[in-house]
Amino acid sequence: MKRKLLWLGLPSALVLIIAVLGALIVREIRVTSVVNSVQSVKLKTSKTASLTEIPSLQTNFTTNNLSGKSEQRFNQIGRNVSNSRFYGAYLGASDNKLRFSAFYGRSNVHAKAAFKMDTAFLMGNYQELLNNAMILKLVEQNKLDLTTKLSSYFPNEPLLSNYTVSDLLTNKFQLYISTDDNAKLRIDKYSTMSRLKLAAKQTKKNEKHMHIANSTIKAVLISNVTKTSYEKAFDQLILAKLKLSNTRLVSNTSDIATNDVKGYNYYVSSGYPTQRNLAPFDMVLFGSNQLRMPLIDVAVSYTKIFDNSYFSKKYNDVFYRSLKKFNLVNSNRKKQIYAFTSTESGQKVTVQYNAAKNNLVVVGENFPNKRLKTGILISQLTKILN
């Protein structure tokens, strides 16, 4: 019996130990192989993924998918940016693929937070651009008509009675709303057709308490037509349709997440620009400056809208007329170059998209970078992609 339990002259206990160790080694090799395979696929995917897929693949904001002279130029730009004490982040994309991204300084100094893929900037009047796009989407869905008088949707607003939806989009008029009346509107509540108490002009007496109402009117119109809250309509028409990941609307100035950017006023310490003094964010206006977006979501939304992936080309004329209000510096429709800048509370986001060459640069800043102009930086980064 004892001899039957021997194998190659070894005791049975030792045979058992060898067998167990062998099984563990084989299992470890298989697990390691699978892990390495998954990591390899992930690395490969992060280079070939679409912009929409990037947030699910990486959280860090440092990306370099360049090579050769393009990589050399990118690294040189990075050294110049660092030497200029630039604070902010930027990314570049071509053919809907992320080619590079980099950041300098902090997104939030107090929290010692670095810029990440989900770090959200205040987007200022980019919200109105998205409002315009949403209205055209509703027109395309036959839920709105550009020729319909606004009095059909706002029967209690006599100042709107002579204007159409198209007039609202293309800024044929400018009306005002008070801070108090604007504050009564909430993004999570259905906006009824009760009076907005619009005013035709500001006066010296009330100018500090009156704000341009056009973007607010658009947000209320969107809520009315969709018969839901503005926030829910925004989620359905923008977040879901454009497949954005970390974009949201804020309801008040204290609505701040850990991944949100804070803006800083210009300050110099020992001769160097320094992120120290917070820029105030004093007021949130319904439909106007409630938008927070990561730069990657800005890239995704901007390209899809200007590529007509969001609404049909037949609405392009009215859409481009709606953009004249924003003073799109360096834009050239004939060359299919579309540039946009938003500013809010010490934060600035600039986009330049060349639809003909299918390349895009987005720069986000949370400090007044006087030593390096945004236009110069964008021009240098664009050359890498051309």
Residue 226: closest CA among 308, 144, 324: 144
Query: What is the residue-wise DSSP string for 122-147?
Result: E-TTHHHHHHHHHHHHHHHTTS--TT
- The closest of 82, 90, 81, 74 to 363, measured between CA atoms, is 90
* Distance, CA of 264 to CA of 278 (rounded, Å): 4
- Average pLDDT of span 205-230: 91
Lowest-confidence pick of 118-127, 166-175, 322-331:
322-331
Give the length of the chain.
386
Average pLDDT for 334-342: 92
Query: Residue 278: what are its φ and ψ, rounded to 5°?
Result: -65, 140
The mean pLDDT of 254-273, rounded to a whole number, is 95
User: Coil, helix or strand for 286?
Assistant: coil
pLDDT in tens, 50-97: 999 999 999 999 999 999 999 999 999 999 999 999 999 999 999 999
**pLDDT over 70 at 348, yes or no:** yes
Query: What's the average model confidence in pLDDT over 125-154?
Result: 96
pTM of this prediction? 0.86
DSSP code, position 278: B
| β-pair partners for 88 | 104, 365
**pLDDT-based confidence at residue 10 (cuts at 50, 70, 90):** low
Q: Is the pLDDT of residue 225 over 90?
A: yes
| DSSP character string of 184-212 | T--TTSB--SS----BS---TTTGGGEEE
* Exposed/middle/buried for residue 116 (C-beta within 10 Å: 0-12, 13-18, 19+): buried
CB-based burial label for 92 (10 Å; 0-12, 13-18, 19+):
buried
